[in-house]
Amino acid sequence: MRVLASRRFPGPAWDELGDVDYRVGPLDRERSDVEALAVVAEPVEEQTLKLLPNLRVVANYGAGYDLIDVEACRRHGVAVTNTPGVTSAATADLTFALILAVRRRIVAGDSFVRSGGWASGWADEPLKGTEVAGSTLGIVGLGRIGSAVAQRARGFDMRVIYTRSRPDADPAYRSLADLLAEADIVSLHVPLTDETQGLIDGERLALMRDGACLVNTARGQIVDEPALVAELVSGRLQAGLDVFADEPNVPQELFELPNVVMTPHLGTATQQTREAMTRVLVDNLLAAEEGRPLPNEV
Count Cβ atoms below 10 Å from residue 124 Cβ, excluding itself. Answer: 7
Residues taking part in catalysis: 219, 247, 265
Q: How far is CA 203 from CA 57, 112, 177, 195, 214, in A?
A: 41, 35, 10, 16, 14
Give the residue from 15, 22, 6, 119 showing the smallest Cα distance to 67: 6
CA angle 86, 78, 286 (to 5 degrees): 50
Phi, psi of 68 (to 5 degrees): -100, 130
Alpha helices in the chain (DSSP H): 46-51, 70-75, 88-103, 106-114, 144-155, 176-182, 202-205, 225-234, 271-290
Q: Is there a contact between 187 and 138 (Cβ–Cβ < 8 Å)? A: yes
